């Protein structure tokens, strides 16, 4: 009997923790060191990914207030702010992005949800066109296999948004992506400037770094859905076990990879030992 009670209590505790994590988020802070950065001041950037229409408070007031309190110089979006399904509105996502445009300049790279809406108008109609126009009118700069040069505290940054072919997001499959594939989409990496690459799918991190990204920002895997208590990701929404990159910052030489655990979920609405996160990172010299 006592054994059954303990098991039931453990199950209840797991369900309570999953519910808590689905309705809260944390702020994760990273410091990125770059030999290309000049000056004593550190540039503060917010990175958002995988909100999926989720709302923290009415019209995302809690999330927007936290972003405003950080006083960022740039806001970078790594995709999947909406949910790309025929019967789901993008209104919540649009209102959120419109609001944060009033805080700092916003640069937006598509995730697989935005990309499939854009590439399949026969299924989704003109939803993406309307969504994009609305955000362009609010001041968002979309990076769809495009780059933008930005100056931050006297330092030049090249922001590049990468869209690979939509097939790289297929579940239960792993595709090959090379630095040549990336160059074919976005051209060569900038050598003199700090090259930031917004690439939604972290499974091709080695190719991104071989292309020449100084800082790569990814998401997509939602931190691995379920993690061990030490934070190690167990399984992704694509049903891959123990992903190499799922929710962390890793440094390799002078290159940094930051993978967001995301701010929302969809379809498989599970988080366990895997808090949703708002990422704040600062670039400074080594």
The pLDDT tens digits of the residues spanning 169-190 come to 887 777 899 999 999 999 999 9
- Would the pTM count as exceeding 0.85? yes
Pairing mode, strands 255-259 and 233-235: unpaired
The whole-angstrom distance between residue 102's C-alpha and the CA centroid of its chain comes to 20
Mean pLDDT to the nearest integer, 151-165: 95
Which pLDDT belongs to residue 235? 82
CA 76 to CA 261: how far, in whole Å? 15
Beta bridge partners, 199, equal 162
Judge contact between 196 and 76, C-beta under 8 A: yes
Q: Cα separation of 219 and 119, whole Å? A: 21
The answer to whether the CB of 281 falls within 8 A of the CB of 31 is yes
Domain count of the chain? 1
Summarize the confidence of residues 6-26 as an average pLDDT. Answer: 78
SS3 category, 45: strand
State the Cα angle at 59 between 20 and 134, rounded to 5°.
130
d(CA 185, CA 161): 10
Pair 194, 37: CB distance under 8 Å: yes
Res. 95: pLDDT tops 90: yes
Nearest to 182 by CA among 149, 158, 204: 204
Structural domain harbouring 156: 2-284
What's the whole-number mean pLDDT along residues 16-43?
88
The pLDDT, as a whole number, for residue 6 is 67
Half-sphere exposure of 93 (CA within 13 A, CB side): 29
Asked if 74 and 107 touch (Cβ cutoff 8 Å), the reply is yes
Lowest mean per-residue pLDDT among 4-8, 128-132, 218-222: 4-8
Count the helices and strands in the chain (H runs, E runs): 8, 14
Give the contacts of 49 (CB within 8 A, at least 6 positions apart): 77, 78, 79, 80, 111, 200, 217, 218, 219, 220, 260, 262, 263, 279
HSE of 271 in the Cβ direction (CA atoms, 13 Å)? 22
Q: Which residues contact 207 (CB under 8 A, 6 or more apart)?
A: 177, 178, 179, 181, 182
Instruction: Please answer whether residues 58 and 89 qualify as being in contact, where contact means their C-beta atoms are separated by less than 8 angstroms.
Output: no
Q: What is the CATH number of the domain that holds 46?
A: 3.60.21.10
Average pLDDT over residues 105-111: 98
């Amino acid at each position: 009997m006592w054994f059954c009670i303990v098991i039931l209590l453990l199950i209840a505790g797991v369900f309570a923790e999953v519910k808590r994590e689905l309705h809260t988020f944390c702020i994760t802070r990273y410091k990125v060191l770059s030999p290309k950065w000049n000056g004593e001041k550190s540039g503060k950037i917010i990175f958002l990914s995988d909100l999926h229409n989720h709302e923290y408070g009415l019209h995302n007031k809690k999330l927007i207030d936290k972003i405003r309190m950080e006083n960022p110089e740039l806001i970078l979006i790594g995709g999947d702010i909406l949910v790309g399904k025929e019967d789901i509105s993008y209104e919540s996502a649009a209102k959120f992005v419109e609001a944060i445009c009033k805080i700092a300049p916003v640069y937006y790279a598509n995730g697989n949800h935005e990309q499939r809406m854009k590439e399949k108008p026969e299924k989704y109609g003109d939803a993406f066109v309307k969504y994009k126009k609305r955000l362009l009118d609010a001041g968002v700069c979309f990076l769809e296999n495009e780059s933008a040069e930005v100056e931050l505290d006297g330092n030049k940054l090249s922001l590049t948004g990468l869209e690979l072919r939509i097939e790289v997001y297929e579940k239960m499959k792993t595709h090959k992506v090379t630095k040549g594939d990336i160059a074919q989409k976005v051209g060569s990496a900038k050598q003199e400037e700090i090259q930031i690459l917004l690439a939604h799918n972290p499974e091709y991190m080695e190719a991104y770094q071989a292309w020449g990204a100084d800082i790569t920002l990814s998401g997509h895997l939602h931190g691995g859905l379920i993690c061990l208590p030490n934070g190690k990701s167990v399984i992704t929404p694509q049903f891959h076990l123990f992903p190499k990159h799922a929710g962390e910052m890793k440094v390799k030489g002078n290159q940094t990879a930051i993978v967001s655990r995301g701010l929302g979920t969809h379809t498989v609405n599970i988080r366990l030992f895997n808090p949703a996160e708002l990422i704040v990172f600062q670039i400074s010299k080594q």
